[in-house]
Structure 1
Amino acid sequence: MEDMLYLMNSLWVMVAAILVIFMIAGFIMLEAGSTRMKNAGHIAGKTAFTFGLASLVFWAVGFAFIFGGNANFFVGMTDFFYSGADLELGLSSTVFFVFQLAFAGIAITIALGGFAERAKLSVYVLFTILFSALVYPVVAHWIWGGGWLAEHGKQDFAGSTVVHLTGAMAALAATILLKPRIGRFNKDGSANAIHGHNQVFTSLGVLILWVGWFGFNAGSTVSVDAGFFGFVALNTQLAAGAGAVAALIISWVVLGKSDIPTILNGALAGLVAITASCAFVDTWAAVVIGLIAGVLVFYGAKLMEKLGIDDPIFALSVHGIPGIWGTLSTGFFATPELATVGQPGLFYGGGFAQLGVQAMGVFVSGAFAFVASFVILFIIKKLLGGLRVSEEEEIMGLDISEHGTYGYPEVFADNQSKAAGK
Structure 2
Amino acid sequence: MAIASFRGGRAAPRRFRFLRNFSYMEHIGLSVDSSEALARDIGAIARIGGVPSMLQMICDETGMGFAAVARVTDATWTACAVQDNIGFGLKTGGHLDLHTTLCFESRVARAPIIVDRFSDDVSYKGHHTPAIYRLESYISVPIITPSGEYFGNLCAIDPRPAKVSEPRVVRMFEVFANLIAMQLDSEQRQWTTEAALKDERATANLREQFIAVLGHDLRNPLSAVNATAEMLVRGLPDADLVGAGHRLKRTVQRMTRLIDDVMDFARGRLGSGMTASIQLVDDPTESLRSVVDELRDANPSRKIDVNFKIDRPVNCDVNRIQQLLSNLLGNALTYGAVDLPASVSVSVDANSMTLSVTNGGDPIPPHMLAKVFEPYWRPPSSTPGGGLGLGLYICKQIVEAHQGTLEVCSNITDGTCFTAKILA
The TM-score normalised by the length of structure 1 is 0.27
Larger-Rg structure: 2
Q: Determine which structure has greater relative contact order: mean sequence separation of CA pairs < 8 Å that are 6+ residues apart, divided by chain length.
A: 1
Structure that is richer in strand per residue:
2
Structure that is richer in helix per residue:
1
